[in-house]
Each structure stands twice: as structure tokens, then as C-alpha cells.
């Protein structure tokens, strides 16, 4: 089970977000003049130390069948594999309706200038449940339209 929290883009995550607060500041400080930071301002080098924990999805160039993943780190993949939730929902015929409802709620907030902070337990490659927390942050090509989703995950 996952617990989702949504915050305005300018609000710093609560202390329970642990080191994801540092990640939020990297994202926010990449271009603090814009509501949504630009993708081009958040270089691979600026994300140093986080590469294994992140996934970057190009929402603008994704297809109806699958999201286009640009970066997907090995720690992130250990917990969520190499498909996005959107791709799984679009390709599955047996998903729990509550999962779809929750994902649609997330998208509503995400596309209205909020980011998501999620706590929960998920299986790792060893199939045991592990507590994790992740943050979903928007990026843009023009500063207003969300074109990318940057996610960082940390095991607790």
C-alpha cells in the first residue's frame, strides 16, 4: 500500500522525506525563476550522486502504448522495473480499479503545479517487501508545459 501526498511546487517537502529534500532543492534550484524548471537546466552532472535512484520520463514524446524513459537508474529499477505506471495501466486488463483511480488522481495534481511524495512498501528483486519513498517532480521544455517527469526513489 502506498500513501500519496501532494504539495505545491514551491513547498519544500516535510522532514519525513529524508534525503529527498536535498533532491527537491537540486530540482528547484536548477531554475528558480520558473514555476516548472527547464529540462535543459537540470543536467546529468547536476544530478550527481542520484543517478542510480532516478527515472526521467519524456512525457511529450511518449506514445499511447508506452512512456519514453530517458534515464532509469539501477536502484530505481530494482523496485519498479523498467516500465512506468502509465505504461502498465495502459497495457493491463486486470489492474485493480483503485490503482487506476489513484494514478488518475496523481496525474490531476501533477498537471496542476503539484509534485507527489509517496511512502510505501514494494518488492525488490528478492521479492520481499521493502519500505521506500519517492518524489515525482515535473520538468518543462518551455517553463510552463510539463514535458518530463523526474522521479527519485530511496529505500528506507
What is the number of structural domains in the chain? 1
What is the spatial distance between Cα 142 and Cα 67, in angstroms, rounded to a whole number? 20
Q: Which residue has the higher pLDDT, 85 or 153?
A: 153
Task: Write down the pTM of the prediction.
Answer: 0.88
Contact 41, 137 (CB under 8 A): no
From first CA to last CA, the distance across the chain in angstroms is 15
Q: pLDDT for 76-129, tens place per residue?
A: 988 877 777 766 666 667 777 787 788 788 889 999 999 999 999 887 767 788
CA distances from 21 to 7, 17, 105 (A): 13, 6, 23
Q: What is the pLDDT of residue 141?
A: 93
Q: What is the pLDDT of residue 63?
A: 67
Query: What residues make up the domain containing 60?
Result: 2-155
**Domain CATH for 95:** 3.30.450
Q: What is the pLDDT of residue 64?
A: 63
Question: Within 10 Å of residue 87's Cβ, how many Cβ atoms?
Answer: 18
Amino acid at each position: 500500500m502506498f500513501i500519496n501526498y501532494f504539495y505545491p511546487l514551491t513547498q519544500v517537502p516535510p522532514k519525513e522525506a529524508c534525503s529527498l529534500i536535498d533532491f527537491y532543492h537540486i530540482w528547484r534550484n536548477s531554475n528558480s525563476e520558473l514555476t516548472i524548471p527547464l529540462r535543459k537546466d537540470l543536467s546529468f552532472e547536476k544530478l550527481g550522486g542520484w543517478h542510480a535512484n532516478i527515472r526521467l520520463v519524456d512525457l511529450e514524446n511518449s506514445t499511447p502504448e508506452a512512456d519514453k524513459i530517458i534515464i532509469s537508474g539501477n536502484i530505481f529499477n530494482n523496485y519498479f522495473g523498467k516500465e512506468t505506471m502509465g505504461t502498465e495501466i495502459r497495457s493491463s486488463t486486470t489492474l485493480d480499479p483503485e490503482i487506476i483511480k489513484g494514478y488518475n488522481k496523481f496525474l490531476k495534481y501533477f498537471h496542476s503545479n503539484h509534485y507527489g511524495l509517496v511512502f510505501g512498501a514494494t518488492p525488490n528483486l528478492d521479492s520481499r517487501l521493502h519500505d521506500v519513498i519517492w518524489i515525482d517532480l515535473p520538468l518543462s521544455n518551455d517553463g510552463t508545459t510539463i514535458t518530463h517527469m523526474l522521479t527519485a526513489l530511496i529505500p528506507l
